[in-house]
Amino acid sequence: MFRQLECFIKICEEGSFAKASESLMISQPALSQQIRYIEAEFNTPVFKRAGRGIKLTAAGQILYEKAISVMRLIGESKKETAELSNTQINQLPLSIGISPLDCPNFMPFF
């Protein structure tokens, strides 16, 4: 569903399927298929096709606003989990190994 939302957002931003397909580097039929999945999922059209351009329907406008929010939240989540992973990697315990043969040499220090 995330890929479909990305495609939907790009079409809204570009104003046409042709420009969005170029930007996303996918074919127009593949892009149209993604929109058909969205329209089937929500059981309503999201675009009015007018000549060479497109316009959002009322349902499409609602979906666009929500899709932007969802994608922003996904981006924030990726960033936060990456930061958490980096923090955990940087906090790994340090272990130092020593040969049993060297233990008598270090015992007086403890």
DSSP string, 57-105: -HHHHHHHHHHHHHHHHHHHHHHHHHHHHHHHHHTPPP-----GGGHHH
- Note the pLDDT tens digit of each residue in 4-20: 999 999 999 998 899 99
- Note the pLDDT tens digit of each residue in 67-87: 999 999 999 999 988 888 777
Look at the pTM and tell me if it is higher than 0.85: no
Residue 71's φ and ψ, nearest 5 degrees, are -65, -35
**Number of helices (H), then strands (E), in the chain:** 5, 2
